[in-house]
Amino acid sequence: MPDTEEPELQLPLDEVRIFTEVLNRIRNAYVEPIDDKTLLENAIKGMLAGIDPHSTYLEADDYDLLQESTTGEFGGLGVEVGIEDGFIKVIAPMDDSPADRAGVRAGDLIIKLDDTPAREVTLGDTIDLMRGEPGTDIVLTILREGIGEPFEITVTREIIQARSVRYRVLEPGYAYIRIATFSTDTGDEVKDAVRKLHEENDLKGLVLDLRNNPGGVLQSSVGVVDAFIDDGLIVYTEGRVDSAEMRFEASTEDVSQAVPLVVLINAGSASASEIVAGALQDHQRAIIMGTPSFGKGSVQTVLPLTNERAIKLTTALYFTPSGRSIQARGITPDIMVDRGQVTRIPESLVSYREEDLTGHLENANDDAEFEEEAAVISTVVQDPPEVIVRDYQLNEAVNVLKGLNIIRPRIMAESETRLVEDIEETSAR
């Protein structure tokens, strides 16, 4: 049990004397004067940075950024980006965003932002450069596959209401939900998306894409899992104080209606993404595919100091329903699938089959039965849409869902047959 009593504050006097001595030395000997406020704030930043990578000191500007990350509203371009080979790669422009309307496409490499080469900045710096006052312009220098020379696109910043959830039908019966980040309303958005997909389609399978999702609001990840299960533990946290200990259980409604589910993850899937993947994996509700996730299994709490300052402090570790801590380990997929690209190779035009041979024997089965079987096959095997061809992991996920839909009716039929036989055998006794 955690210690609920406030520990008595006992400062190590020798270390406090050293700290005071260092403060005085910097005051008196540093090449330029530094005020005490700056020195003490830097000391606080260093103290938190030395604990772990996620604890930090929040000043006024940091508060604003934190608000943006949870509400999803900011001035910017409306584009989701990542790092690839030192360049900024566009994962996807948001629908009807400034970047989308200006012609930025998924897969584009940004090699320069205004006059700043992309190789000289971090991903965080890049996001800062793209965000700014609505109405201002930024010039992106783009490299695009199939176009030999770089070209420029001018994008005008706007207030972006970030959509954390996007969804679409990939092909008849199979749909796709992408979660870019976990903001306040993500859980409700996913539930709404699943309901609409069921209402508008004969849904046979669903892909939930959490790749390159850095996480976000813990409660939203719980809401997403709750869309796919109707009972049981989703996640729990453990820390040193009572307030750090939480348990989240599923509600009684499974809005997904138990549709077959594949979850895609990769090394960019962190925190809340790993909560979702781990919970669905433990409940055997989904097949997890892709590559191992990032491994951030800690919970940060914002503790206010003043009206404008706070610290973000790691206060707990979270655990999947089976008790797994993914801290520094991550979620291991059920099926490992690396990134790649699908290349379709059509059959040769000169190829032929038995039915093309002169004088071939006719099929012995009834033609109507053959046509019915062919119609069933055609609903499963068809040319994949272009998005699947470009995305090997997504292509494999859809193939797994199709396989499940082929085998499940057979397993259910066999189970029903065995059940009937058992009942008949019992009655005969």
In single-letter form, the type of residue at position 178 comes to R
Catalytic, 282? Answer yes
Q: Encode burial over 259-280: b for 16+ CB neighbours within 10 A, e otherwise.
A: bbbbbbbbebbbbbbbbbbbbb
Q: Cβ contacts of residue 330 below 8 Å, gap of 6+?
A: 267, 274, 292, 293, 294, 295
Q: What counts of helices (H) and strands (E) characterise the chain?
A: 11, 19
Task: Name the segment(s) of the chain with CATH classification 3.90.226.10.
Answer: 165-336
Q: What are the strands of the beta sheet with 165-171, ordered from one edge?
A: 165-171, 174-179, 205-209, 261-265, 287-290, 335-336
**324 contacts: CB under 8 Å, gap ≥ 6:** 278, 282
Give the H or E element holding residue 192. Answer: helix 186-200
Distances in whole angstroms, Cα of residue 2 to Cα of each of 11, 233, 239, 316, 326:
22, 21, 7, 12, 21
The tokens for 250 are: 């599923």
In the chain, CATH 2.30.42.10 sits at 77-161
Give CA angle at 70 (289, 161), nearest 5°.
90
- Check 188, 230, 254, 282 and give the catalytic one: 282
Q: What CATH number does the domain located at 77-161 have?
A: 2.30.42.10
Task: Give the active site residue among 220, 256, 271, 298.
Answer: 271
Question: How many residues comprise the chain?
Answer: 429
Residues contacting 334, CB < 8 A, separation 6+:
281, 287, 288, 289
Task: Give the three-class secondary structure for 40.
Answer: helix
Instruction: Spell out the per-residue pLDDT of the chain, length 429, in tens.
Output: 445 455 567 889 999 999 999 999 999 999 999 999 999 999 998 999 889 888 888 876 665 666 555 555 567 898 877 777 778 888 767 767 899 899 998 788 999 999 999 888 766 678 778 888 889 999 999 999 888 899 999 999 998 776 789 899 999 999 999 998 898 899 999 999 999 999 999 999 999 999 978 888 899 999 999 999 999 999 999 999 888 999 999 987 899 999 999 999 988 888 999 999 999 999 999 999 999 998 999 998 889 888 788 899 999 999 999 999 999 999 999 999 998 877 777 766 666 788 888 888 888 876 666 566 555 444 444 556 667 778 899 999 999 999 999 887 776 667 666 766 666 676 666
SS3 46: helix
Q: Tell whether domain 165-336 is in CATH 3.40.47.10.
A: no
Encoding tokens for residue 328?
């520094």
- How far is it, in rounded angstroms, from Cα 317 to Cα 296? 9
Q: Out of 296, 298, 391, 402, which one is annotated catalytic?
A: 296
Task: Give the integer Cα–Cα distance in Å for 223 and 230.
Answer: 11
Angle (CA) 384 388 391, round 5°: 150
Joined tokens for residue 29: 């000997």
Tokens of 278: 């781990």
d(CA 139, CA 151): 10
What are 212's two structure tokens? 């390159």
Could you tell me the CA-to-CA distances from 95 to 104, 196, 356, 424 in Å, in that order?
A: 11, 18, 48, 58
**pTM score:** 0.78
Q: Would you say 82 and 76 are in contact if contact means Cβ atoms under 8 Å apart?
A: no
